[in-house]
Amino acid sequence: MKSLKRFLPVGLNFFLIASSIFAQKEAFVPSSDVSFKISAVQTSWKAGESITLQYSVKNISNAPLFAPREWEAACPAAPHLWAWFEDSSGKHFVPGYGGDCAGGRKTVSERMGKEAVMLKPGEHIDGTFLLDPKIFGLKPGAYRVEAMLTGWVEKKFTDAERSELAKMAGPFMTGEVSDSIRITLTPSAK
């Protein structure tokens, strides 16, 4: 029994060291490691005005990680950051997007150089984006603006790309994080 008691701390230390080495090799971490918030300087706009939203992505984990910038650098590109309107009946008004594939295919390192930002624990990246209610013909009234930050999808990378990502300075966020705010569109002055 005494030798077993001596072995347990040694075995536990080995397990903890092995676990920390394995954890450092992760290429992806869940979206729960970041917070995502949207805001606006006002809560009311005229029905024809474009709405500027601010966003903030913060690393709330204890280790550095890569968070996405606004757009993918992949081809065809897709947004990492997307926002839409919801009216009082629950109907969603979601904008479309488009892109081209000029510049050809990029390596995973080139792509992440444009698409990802390294955030140390507690660091954040802030930005703005525009929503245009005119494209939907939204009428005056109360709306909820919903926004989503979408990370990378591990399955979309090849084994070689995942291996290359695991060698980078930190893991990459997967999954989705969302936030919403309430706004009011008022009648336009004629």
- Res. 113: pLDDT tops 60: yes
Per residue in 115-166, pLDDT tens?
999 999 999 999 998 999 888 889 999 999 999 999 999 998 899 999 999 9
Position 1 confidence tier, pLDDT thresholds 50, 70, 90 = low
Amino acid 151: pLDDT: 94
**Residues 98, 159 contacting (CB under 8 angstroms):** no
| DSSP-H helix ranges across the chain | 2-24, 108-115, 159-166
Quick one: how far is CA 52 from the chain centroid? 19
Angle 108-115/159-166 helices, nearest 10 degrees?
A: 60
Amino acid 102: pLDDT: 62
- Interval 32-45 mean pLDDT: 96
Average pLDDT, whole number, for the chain? Answer: 84
Instruction: Kindly state the tokens that stand for 113.
Output: 């150089």
Which segment of 3-17, 36-50, 118-132, 149-163 scores lowest on mean pLDDT? 3-17
The Cα 95–Cα 46 span in angstroms is: 19
Position 20 confidence tier, pLDDT thresholds 50, 70, 90 = very low
Quick one: how far is CA 153 from the chain centroid? 11
CATH class of 28-186: mainly beta
User: What are the residue ranges spanned by the domains of the chain?
Assistant: 28-186
Per residue in 58-80, pLDDT tens?
999 999 999 998 777 776 677 89
DSSP 3-state of 145: strand
